Amino acid sequence: LVSPPLMQVLCTPMHLLSLSLINDPSATAAARIAKLKLATPAALLARSLRMLPAYGVGGILNSTLVARGRAMARARALPTVGGGG
């Protein structure tokens, strides 16, 4: 739940830097760093929050659904013993 958003602390600045290198090849290093300081907090927040539904709610819901599915499969594949006859 915490790991993917925390990875954005490393990935977002690298991503923004690469975009700066491609979109403004003549910018100086000081100009790039100044733009990174301005853009990183908002981009980091947006990219981290975007992952919460997938890795947070989605991961928990997936675990619950898988557990229920396995329980149903076991119940069908292994009938109760001593049922009659």
Instruction: Dump pLDDT digits (tens) for 6-50.
Output: 888 999 999 999 999 999 999 999 999 999 999 999 999 999 888
pTM given for the model: 0.62
| Per-residue pLDDT, 19 | 95
23-58: burial string, b at 16+ Cβ within 10 Å, e else: eeeeeeeeeeeebbeebbeebbeebbeebeeeeeee
Of 58, 44, 61, 62, nearest to 5 by C-alpha is 44
Q: What is the pLDDT of residue 84?
A: 52
* Predicted pLDDT of residue 81: 62
Rg (CA), the chain: 24
pLDDT for the residue 63? 85
